[in-house]
Amino acid sequence: MTAIPLVDLAAQHAQVADEVAEGWAEVLAKTAFIGGAPVGAFEAEFAAYCGVAHCVGVGNGTDAIELALRALGVGPGDECVLPANTFIATAEAVARAGATPVLVDCADDTLLIDVDQLESVVGPRTKAILPVHLYGQTAPVERIRPIADAVGAAIVEDAAQSQGARRHGRAAGSLGDIAATSFYPGKNLGAYGDAGGVVTDNADLAQRVRLLREHGSPRKYEHPELGFNSRMDTLQAVVLSAKLRRLEGWNTARRAAAARYDDLLAALPSVGRPVVLDGNEPVWHLYVVRVADRDRVLAGLNAAGIGAGIHYPVPVHRTGAFSSLATGSFPVAEKTAGELLSLPLFAEITPAQQERVVEVLSGLVP
Ligand SMILES: Cc1ncc(COP(=O)(O)O)c(C=O)c1O
């Protein structure tokens, strides 16, 4: 039986290979590897896709969060609130900006930030709230808005896993004040290396990010403030433009695959299926189920050649890097970290592959 990967990047590359080769040949002929027309074109296309006025291409998704925070003026002495169940990068970017991450637990059904707990942690030092649109579904940002407004905090969406996701018809990236996304290769819209983007409707914030990503420099050799080097490579912009044209189709295929898993897994009541929040149109970056004795089940799947994974095995406060946050209590994140299991899901997955995944899974759960 052939292996089934968690994500099949080769199948995706086959669809854009000619376009990428042509675009890369032009970049190579011009030897213009930084900036240039392909980056500007992609920024305009992605901003339009998200329904906002501005996109600034940067080096990766972690930098995108940090740059968004710095553009807002977040720094030492400030607090930023984020969920305990996320990739460490969300907390890392806050700490790198000089601010203090403040965690809240996740909701037991959707695994998104638990909005009911926000009011008890925000205060005068809160400069930003970072809802993470985890696994491809958006957090309920409209419920976070009044809580953020009450303390004068900005909403910075972590939209790394949600390119194309919608909430009440509005795209991820357009729901807060500014949003950061990652184009890491395995994302729904993935580059061929590291890349990220900051999107916003706010022209001033976009301009601040543009300066910061380029050594704080409005013009060559003028550096009124300390910045970074975090630009999107021209070669990556070519890939991303080619893929963006296909993203809606790929996300539709992911939805169909998620619905197929939902149907197949209905026969396995001990497997907890993902819960979608009312008003959400997810893009299924990951299809995450919950099982008892997860490590044994995962090992069984992997032994059968099925590339299942865990997102995430360790909540932020249980990492060494953020052990200072371990005094908090995040029981849902702690409990679910031992149950989560991501099944293979990508646009090209076939019904036969999904049936095989569920067949093997059915032999491993009660
Ligand atoms: C939720 C989340 N935030 C931030 C990031 C960071 O993105 P990058 O790996 O491009 O730095 C990722 C992806 O890795 C992510 O999944």
Atom of ligand 1 at shortest distance to CA of 93? Answer: 4
User: How far is residue 189 from each of residues 176, 182, 255, 306, 333, measured CA to CA in Å?
Assistant: 20, 8, 15, 23, 27
Atom of ligand 1 at shortest distance to CA of 196? Answer: 10
From CA 342, how far away is CA 349, in angstroms rounded? 14
195-208 average pLDDT score = 98
Annotate 74-108 with DSSP letters as a single string.
--TT-EEEEESSS-HHHHHHHHHTT-EEEEEPBPT
Predicted confidence at residue 196, as pLDDT, reads: 98
- Give distance in angstroms: CA of 191 to centre of ligand 1: 13
217-221 average pLDDT score = 92
Domains of the chain: 9-241 (3.40.640.10), 247-362 (3.90.1150.10)
Residue of 80, 82, 182 with the most ligand 1 atoms within 8 Å of its CB, for mutation: 182
pLDDT digits (tens, 9 = 90+) for 312-348: 999 999 999 999 999 999 999 999 999 999 999 999 9
Whether 164 and 247 have beta carbons less than 8 Å apart is answered as yes
- Give distance in angstroms: CA of 310 to centre of ligand 1: 15
The torsion angle over the Cα atoms of residues 85, 88, 91 and 97, rounded to 10 degrees, is -160
Q: What angle do helix axes 88-96 and 61-71 make, rounded to 10 degrees?
A: 40
Ligand 1 in contact with 234 (CB < 6 A)? no
Predicted confidence at residue 325, as pLDDT, reads: 94
pLDDT digits (tens, 9 = 90+) for 287-311: 999 999 999 999 999 999 999 999 9
Predicted confidence at residue 1, as pLDDT, reads: 66
DSSP code of residue 194: -
From CA 103, how far away is CA 81, in angstroms rounded? 6
CB burial readout 80-102, b (16+ within 10 A) else e: bbbbbbbbbbbbbbbbebebbbb
Indicate which residues carry an active-site annotation: 187
Query: Considering the chain, what percentage of its residues have pLDDT values greater than 90?
Result: 99
Predicted confidence at residue 65, as pLDDT, reads: 98
pLDDT band at 3; cut points 50, 70, 90: very high
From CA 40, how far away is CA 17, in angstroms rounded? 21
The least confident of 56-70, 149-163, 214-228, 261-275 is 214-228
Pairing of strands 340-343, 154-158: unpaired
pLDDT band at 2; cut points 50, 70, 90: confident
Burial classification of residue 15, based on how many CB atoms lie within 10 Å of its CB (0-12 exposed, 13-18 middle, 19 or more buried)? middle
